[in-house]
Amino acid sequence: MEHPENDSAYKGLQVNSGVGSQPITNPYRKGRRRAPQLSVGEYVEGILKGDVSVLGRAVTLVESTAESHQAIAQEVIEKCLPYSGKSRRIGITGVPGAGKSTSIDVFGLHVLRRGGKLAVLAIDPSSERTRGSILGDKTRMEKLSQEKDAFIRPSPSAGSLGGVARKTRETIVLCEAAGYDNIFVETVGVGQSETSVHSMVDFFLLIQLAGTGDELQGIKRGIMEMADGIVINKCDGDNVDRAKLAASQFRNALFLFPPTPSKWKPEVITYSGYYELGIDLVWDMIDRYFEYVQKTGYFERKRNEQAKYWMIETIDEQLRSNFYNTPAVRALLEQKELRVLNNEQSSFTAAKDVLDCYFRELRREDM
């Protein structure tokens, strides 16, 4: 409509018609541009060349739950397997606030200064709930994230702990094939995830803090038993004495533990991640450990056992997910739960009925 002030009776200024609002997106670009899907061969070639973007995309496939992605991912892993294994895999755990990210940042730089490449992966079971994980996050490892030889990847967030751990284990294979000869796997030392990490690494490092004198009480004995090295962080400022005291308490406690399967005696060391004090002491210990287990043959033995463990774990996990994703099983399970709760059927016969239903379904699929 013509503006009223442009009426010939009005002698003032002319009002020009405005410009319509412009689209905020580029009209010439149709749809979202996606990088074209690579073939298995292209993934493998890129990974073996150490191409970080191809590696990142392959890890995304590994983490994907889509069946088509999984099919490619499994083939890529299989082809990378012969090139994997040549790394030091180190698990790092500690309660939130223990200083894992601060320490990994400086440990990582220390490792890179000696040459080679480093991948930092994470297993965070809570990420399932919070959609996305903070562990292994780039923003938490400021120095390391600027290093071209460091590949930092947060925890995969989908699925059960078993599923998340398996994806991390598969990611290790890809990273090693891409030439990462140091692998850190980070986890929060509060639950089940340490067991998974322990079963995929060569050395398990437990980061502890000096507390108020009763530090040993808050620590799960199981985690301490898994540790190949215990390090007390924040040994700086007026905390030095307390950290040293905690270290001697840990040393005493370790005396009471049964010998480790490797016969290696776990060491206790104090350091400061923030002020970068004692980092070389921690790393000397880890070097000594690798020397020791390579000499005794435990290194190989443990890796073989882990390979077996992961085969069984994968079978377990896939059986379970197949079972619980079978619609007939789910429906029957719901009914049976009610019956068991109402004391109309025993847990054991109910379980048998549900399992029978699953096997019937399998046979039907076969026909």
- Which residues form the interface with ligand GDP (CB under 6 A)? 94, 96-102, 233-234, 236, 272-275
**Which CB atom, from 227 or from 333, has the smaller least distance to ligand GDP?**
227
Closest residue by Cα to residue 63 from 155, 161, 167:
167
The string of DSSP codes covering 215-271 is: GGGGS-HHHHHH-SEEEEE---GGGHHHHHHHHHHHHHHHHTSPPPTT----EEEE-
**Which CB atom, from 246 or from 333, has the smaller least distance to ligand GDP?**
246
CB of 320 to ligand GDP, least distance (A): 31
CB of 364 to ligand GDP, least distance (A): 50
CB of 233 to ligand GDP, least distance (A): 5
**Which CB atom, from 88 or from 100, has the smaller least distance to ligand GDP?**
100
The string of DSSP codes covering 326-351 is: -HHHHHHHHHHHHHHHTTSS-HHHHH
**Which CB atom, from 233 or from 306, has the smaller least distance to ligand GDP?**
233
CB of 215 to ligand GDP, least distance (A): 16
CA 118/CA 258 separation, integer angstroms: 33
Three-class secondary structure of residue 361 per DSSP: helix
**Which CB atom, from 206 or from 285, has the smaller least distance to ligand GDP?**
206
Q: Which residue has the tokens 């070389």?
A: 280
Q: Count CB neighbours of 150 within 10 A.
A: 25
**Residue 152: what are its φ and ψ, rounded to 5°?**
-115, 130
**Which CB atom, from 92 or from 224, has the smaller least distance to ligand GDP?**
92
Q: Pairing relation of β-strands 118-123 and 182-188? A: parallel
Residue 51 identity: D
CB of 96 to ligand GDP, least distance (A): 4
**Which CB atom, from 42 or from 236, has the smaller least distance to ligand GDP?**
236
CB of 253 to ligand GDP, least distance (A): 21
* Helices and strands (H, E) in the chain, number of each type: 13, 7
CB of 160 to ligand GDP, least distance (A): 24
